[in-house]
Amino acid sequence: MSEILEVIERIIEELRAEGMNPDIMLAGPQFIEYSKDALKQMNLKIYRIEELGYDAVIADSNYLGQIKKASRRVSVEPLLEEKEVWNELKKLDV
């Protein structure tokens, strides 16, 4: 869970470094399910968007859709896949 929190915080810092003020997150249901503990620590307004699935978009609501650099997309799917691989390796007892 700390991995996704680190990724979200890094994205927020990148947006701030570019002069943006990230204040919203558009998130898919699977992203919310996997990240719910991390999201409680974020000071973002979160909107659930079914079509995003395992992804989320962190953005500055004042510029979303106007300029490309106003948002960043993140996915938890690679983290889940990595976790599954480690679980399978543990089962093999190697």
For residue 83, pLDDT over 80 is answered with: no
Whole-structure pTM value: 0.78
| CATH class for the domain made up of 2-92 | alpha beta
Contact partners, residue 72, CB within 8 Å, separation at least 6: 11, 14, 15, 57, 58, 59
Domain boundaries, the chain: 2-92
- The string of pLDDT tens digits covering residues 48-66 is 999 999 999 999 999 988 8
pLDDT at 37: 87
Tell the residue number behind the tokens 């510029």, with chain if given. 63
Q: What is the per-residue pLDDT for 63?
A: 92
